[in-house]
Structures are given as structure tokens and as C-alpha cells.
């Protein structure tokens, strides 16, 4: 069975940074966030808490895999179709939904949420707004 790199956010860590960090830790591959494709919310999860899972599309900046031995048995690049065709993926509803979303993105039929750096209105702290990039931003230069 093959799967995508996964992990949890560190306290105070942004989603886009956590996705990049987890891929780097588990595979040694440098990457940058392209979009958040989807997210799932569940309740009564780990430690009886609610949980959010984000499906992120990243662009690799390096390709040499150096797997994290403590967490991963094997790591390799493979065609997406090969991943999606695995019986484990096809037999689990959530993984099949995620696979279909990824496939639609690859085919240009789906757009997720891009990270737009911004600041909060009260404290002026840096933050990220995740939005569909087909929406024109108020005050943007490309209007």
C-alpha cells in the first residue's frame, strides 16, 4: 500500500508550512504549496477531539527521495493513476473522494484554495487567507 505524506501541525504553524515540512521530513523532498484541494472535519477523533485534515497540492522543488526511516518503510515517485488504482484507495470512501479530486485537478476540472498572505484586522499579525484563486481580489492590480 502506498500513501501520501501526512502529519500534524505544530502549535502556531500555518497549514501551508506544515504541509511543506511534513513532505520534507518524511521524504527529503523540498516543495512549495500550490493549493489546498479539500479538507475533512471529523469528531471524536484522536484523544476524543475534533480533527481537520487538509489535502494539499505541493510542487516539488527537488526530486531526490530520502525517506524517514522511523516512519516510512519505502518511498518512491509514481504515476498518480497507479496510486489511485490501489485496492486500498478504491475500497475506502474518503480516499476515493480525495483521489477523484486530485484527478480532476490534474485534468484542469477543479480549483482548490490558494494561500494569500495578509494581516489580521485587529493586531496586524501576519496570517493566510485560503481562497479560490478564480476570485478577483479587492484592490488587486489585475482588475
Return the C-alpha cell found at 30. Answer: 523540498
26 is catalytic: no
| CA–CA distance, 30 with 5 (Å, rounded to integer) | 13
CB-based burial, 104-138: b 16+ in 10 Å, e otherwise: ebeeeebebbbbeeeeeeeeeeeebebeeeeeeee
* Residue of 25, 35, 71, 93 marked active site: 25
What length does the chain have? 143
Q: Closest by alpha carbon to 19, among 3, 38, 32, 2?
A: 32
Which are the catalytic amino acids?
25
Amino acid at each position: 500500500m502506498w500513501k501520501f505524506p501526512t502529519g500534524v501541525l505544530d502549535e502556531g504553524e500555518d497549514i501551508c508550512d506544515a504541509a511543506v515540512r511534513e513532505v520534507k521530513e518524511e521524504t527529503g523532498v523540498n516543495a512549495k504549496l500550490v493549493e489546498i484541494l479539500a479538507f475533512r472535519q471529523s469528531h471524536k477523533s484522536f484523544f476524543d477531539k475534533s480533527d481537520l485534515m487538509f489535502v494539499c497540492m505541493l510542487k516539488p522543488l527537488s526530486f531526490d527521495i530520502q525517506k524517514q526511516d522511523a516512519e516510512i518503510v519505502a518511498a518512491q515517485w509514481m504515476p498518480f493513476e497507479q496510486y489511485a488504482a490501489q485496492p486500498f484507495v478504491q475500497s475506502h470512501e474518503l480516499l476515493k473522494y480525495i483521489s477523484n479530486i486530485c484527478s480532476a485537478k490534474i485534468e484542469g476540472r477543479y480549483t482548490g484554495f490558494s494561500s494569500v498572505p495578509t494581516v489580521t484586522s485587529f493586531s496586524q499579525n501576519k496570517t493566510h487567507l485560503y481562497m479560490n484563486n478564480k476570485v478577483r481580489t479587492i484592490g488587486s492590480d489585475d482588475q
